Amino acid sequence: RQGATALGQRLLPFVLPAHASFKMEDVEMYSDHLLFNKRQLGPIGQYTVTTPYVIALVVAKFLHTFGLFVTYEQLKVIHVVQFLFVVRLCTTVVLVILQRPVSSGKKITSNQWYKIGKHALVSTIIGLIWLEGLTLCGALRTVLLYEHSDAVVLAALGVLFHSGGTGPSKVRGSLLFLLGILCLLLFDNDSPSLSHPEGHHKSQWIHWYYQVLSWLGLPDHKGGLILLVLVLLFKIAHKNVSRTLAVEIGGAKRLAALSSCVSTVLLLPLALLSNFTQTTDVDWLEAIIPLAVVIFVVFIFDFYIESFCVAKLESLRTGKIGSIASFLSAVIIALLWDKPWVWSMHEWHHGKQSEPHLVSAGTLFAAFFFVLATRLLSRPSPRMTKGNLIGYTTGGLPIYNFQTPQSVLTTVQSLLRQIVEQSESRQIFYFLCLNLLFTGIELLYGAWTNSLGLISDGFHMLFDCTALVIGLCAALMARWKASRTFSYGYGRVEILSGFVNGIFLVVISFFVFIAAIQRLFDPPTVSTERLLVVSVGGLVVNLVGIFAFRHAHSHGSSSHGHSHHGHGGHGSHGHSHGHHGHSHGHGHAHDEHHDRSVNMQGVFLHVVADTMGSVGVIVSSVLIEQFGFFIADPLCSLFIAVLIFLSVLPLLQESSQVLLLRTPGDLDKTLGSAFNKILSLDGVLSYRDPHFWRHSSDSIVGVIHVQVAPSANEQRIIQQVSALFKEYGINKFSVQVEKEAFFHHMSALSAGYKSVLALKQGADMGLSSSGGEFDYGVIKAV
């Protein structure tokens, strides 16, 4: 605060007009606001003072991006090693002149020269791989993947591998960063050309790398994207390790100059070798101007401007502005780069063909995601730790329960540990992995052979995996402990999962039935190519699932009954009790009903539906291929749709009854005898309001009100009634004991309230009819 006050005393006379006056209280209040308001933390007038630096940084990044596009054009005719050698040589000359790394500063020891040599070697390797990635995927994708600040990438990696300091904004930013990479890898439709799209490769190892990409059927820019992701990680690790060395030898600029000198020496023999072995000649006179532009805007101007802005601005702010400016500049330049009027401005384009690595929908989405991710990941890490107040000490001090944040990997490990602990979740998880493996193989083989049938069946199996995911999530959530919000726990999630899976099966059977009816009147021509093999493979996978979930199958029961109601009273209400109910069964034992998991039954029915689908496809494909019986396809589909619908009805009936809090059907016959036993207990007069419902597959909840004699022991009655219902499997039971005096007291209060209300209404009517005269003695008597 004293430093801020002194700073304000020195600066305010220059900021305010000459005729303005200020007080020391204003300076101290401003210094307090400056120190304790995080959002305003920074130099006085920072938004006006730092504007020139922001503009300079944006201009430098635009020129840097433009230089990368020029670099991509030059690499079409210049070998990568020769290009990097020329760039490092010219950059070294400029840095040595400006920095004078040898004559100024302290003397470099032999150990430090060894470290500088290692730094230069790693820097050279990173530069070569970066240029190779640039030649493979173009300047736009290179900027989108490589021009990220260290803080952004480290924050994204911290969400995955670090257990602390991550907030919601960091998690969202990491997801957006990952989405940007996936957009470039999966949705960037760059035409794959398997015959060297960039001409003859100028390095043998990149030629071998491209052969691997061709064998995998991947376009060239996919391999370049992989190289750029790897080299980005290596660059950030290299920069973080080099900070200690920069401090030892006297600064980052001196290290850059010395490392560039050593890198030039290392590249000299490689450049000479490539010059003697290459088959095409390079017109170096024609390349002087573009090389000079690249050296200045990419390696010198950008380096000094960024270093200067880091010193004047916050490093996070510099990285955020620089990265966003690079992304937007790359998109703008890429949109204009292949225009003929741009080509007429210079002769740096080597060839008039349309560029294969310019703008696509995937690159636009990736740029959008990267901009959002950079904004979120560049925010300062939260320093406050949140906790819950759990109580107070004997001295009155508060006690908090602090929760340690977990990384994504730690969370995944914890979930896997919870999955394998229980048999149900373990079985679902293993079968889900097997199903996903078969789905992946089917999709890859379908893409390899260009089979639309295999690809569509793979996506159908991928949709079926959602049922397994729902069942797995329900099996995990059902074991969560009860909380203040969900006081009964999460056991009913399994019931909800079974109901949702049942609805899915009904929808599937409905659409299959409609499609089968349409095909029944107009049977289409079905191609059975590779259909039988895929169906047999799917049948084998589903048979494994049936074997794993066979314990979940049991015959459903249909029952109907009413909640049992007993009425009892004493005195004016009399004393009575009774119950009524009826049920319909199918001869199955109801005692095992509560042992069945509705969630597992839903998963089992999904597997059975897939199995029936595989059997139907096998039968129809054999009939079509052998006899040309095309109507077999809709007939099998009709049969399968009806079977699926009929098999899912018991699941929907059971799960809906549980969700509607129906009295369990297996208790319809037993509750009557239980109520009779309650009335036979010593001291029990009657009962009322019995409620029983199933909370989960292994939990039944019950509540009952019992009226007892005045001399009865309440705790003994509660213990006897609870023990009685636990014999019938009701493990969560509540008993409310009501004595006669309390019952009469509540009845009198209720009757008295109604009488007073009636008399009050009569008094109002009497006053209005008699002109204000009323006999108040009636109210007193009452």
Q: What is the pLDDT of residues 651-661, one digit of tens each?
A: 888 888 888 88
Is residue 167 helix, strand or coil?
A: coil
Dihedral-angle region of residue 628 (phi above 0 means left; psi in -120 to 50 means alpha; beta otherwise) = left
769, two tokens: 């009819």
Strand order through the sheet with 684-696: 684-696, 699-708, 732-739
Query: Minimum mean pLDDT among 13-22, 297-306, 329-338, 439-448: which range?
Result: 13-22
Q: Which pLDDT score is estimated for 48? A: 54
Those residues with Cβ within 8 angstroms of residue 62's Cβ, 6 or more apart along the chain or in another chain: 325, 329
335, two tokens: 């949109």
Grade residue 515 by pLDDT with cuts at 50, 70 and 90.
confident
- Other C-beta atoms closer than 10 Å to the C-beta of 688 total 16
551, two tokens: 């314990």
Angstrom distance (rounded) from CA 647 to CA 204 = 62
With contact defined as beta carbons under 8 Å apart, do 350 and 299 qualify?
A: no
Q: Compute the radius of gyration of the chain from its Cα atoms.
A: 39
Bigger pLDDT: 530 vs 109 = 109
**For residue 97, what is the enclosing H or E element?**
helix 80-99
| Averaged pLDDT for residues 286-292 | 86
Residue 630 scores a pLDDT above 90: no
Query: Phi and psi dihedrals of 773, rounded to 5?
Result: -95, 135
Q: Give the chain's domains with CATH numbers.
A: 49-189+204-348+357-378 (no CATH), 407-552+597-660 (1.20.1510.10), 665-760 (3.30.70.1350)
348-375 per-position pLDDT tens digit:
555 444 455 677 888 899 999 999 999 9
Residue 30 scores a pLDDT above 50: no
Residue 563 scores a pLDDT above 60: no
Bigger pLDDT: 168 vs 513 = 513
From 354, 345, 353, select the one nearest 289 (Cα to Cα): 345
Q: Please report where in the chains the tokens 């930013």 appear, as a residue.
A: 173
With contact defined as beta carbons under 8 Å apart, do 117 and 255 qualify?
A: no
Q: Which pLDDT score is estimated for 543? A: 85
Q: Which residue type is seen at 219?
A: P
249-288 per-position pLDDT tens digit:
888 888 999 999 999 999 999 888 887 877 667 778 888 8
Q: Which pLDDT score is estimated for 210? A: 64
Residue 33 scores a pLDDT above 60: no
Highest mean pLDDT among 366-375, 691-700, 767-776: 366-375
| Averaged pLDDT for residues 398-421 | 71
Angstrom distance (rounded) from CA 51 to CA 57 = 10
Residue 437 scores a pLDDT above 70: yes
Q: How far, in Å, are 158, 164, 168, 638 from residue 410 at the CA level?
A: 12, 11, 16, 47
Q: How far, in Å, are 21, 174, 413, 611, 656 from residue 306 at the CA level?
A: 39, 25, 40, 62, 64
Highest mean pLDDT among 204-218, 454-468, 693-707: 693-707
Q: Give 125-130's long-range contacts (Cβ < 8 A, gap of 24+).
A: 126/231, 126/234, 126/235, 126/238, 127/84, 127/88, 127/263, 128/80, 128/81, 128/84, 129/227, 129/230, 129/231, 129/234, 130/228, 130/231, 130/235
Query: Minimum mean pLDDT among 55-69, 110-124, 149-163, 221-235: which range?
Result: 149-163
With contact defined as beta carbons under 8 Å apart, do 131 and 124 qualify?
A: no
| Averaged pLDDT for residues 556-583 | 38
Q: Which pLDDT score is estimated for 225? A: 84
171-189 per-position pLDDT tens digit:
888 889 999 988 888 777 6
Dihedral-angle region of residue 571 (phi above 0 means left; psi in -120 to 50 means alpha; beta otherwise) = left
Q: Which pLDDT score is estimated for 780? A: 32
Grade residue 118 by pLDDT with cuts at 50, 70 and 90.
very high
Angstrom distance (rounded) from CA 430 to CA 439 = 14
| Averaged pLDDT for residues 683-689 | 87
Grade residue 761 by pLDDT with cuts at 50, 70 and 90.
low
Bigger pLDDT: 59 vs 624 = 59
Angstrom distance (rounded) from CA 79 to CA 204 = 11
Residue 575 scores a pLDDT above 60: no
Query: Minimum mean pLDDT among 140-144, 207-211, 432-436, 593-597: which range?
Result: 593-597
Residue 133 scores a pLDDT above 70: yes
Looking at the chain, the whole-number percentage of residues with pLDDT higher than 90 is: 12
Average model confidence (pLDDT) across the chain? 74
Grade residue 698 by pLDDT with cuts at 50, 70 and 90.
confident
Angstrom distance (rounded) from CA 80 to CA 271 = 9
Q: Please report where in the chains the tokens 């030039």 appear, as a residue.
A: 264
With contact defined as beta carbons under 8 Å apart, do 280 and 190 qualify?
A: no
Beta strand pairing call for 398-402 and 387-392: antiparallel
With contact defined as beta carbons under 8 Å apart, do 343 and 349 qualify?
A: yes
Q: Which pTM was predicted?
A: 0.55
Angstrom distance (rounded) from CA 678 to CA 676 = 5
Burial class (CB in 10 A: 0-12, 13-18, 19+), 287: middle
Q: Which pLDDT score is estimated for 329? A: 93
Beta strand pairing call for 398-402 and 684-696: unpaired
What end-to-end distance do the CA atoms of the chain give, in Å?
Answer: 76
Angstrom distance (rounded) from CA 556 to CA 359 = 58
**What angle, rounded to 10 degrees, do the helices at 531-548 and 423-449 form?**
170
| Averaged pLDDT for residues 525-542 | 72
From 549, 643, 659, 662, select the one nearest 596 (Cα to Cα): 549
Residues in the chain: 782
- Runs of H (alpha helix) within 680-739: 714-726
Bigger pLDDT: 420 vs 580 = 420
Query: Phi and psi dihedrals of 390, rounded to 5?
Result: -110, -5
Q: Which pLDDT score is estimated for 24? A: 44
Angstrom distance (rounded) from CA 536 to CA 528 = 13
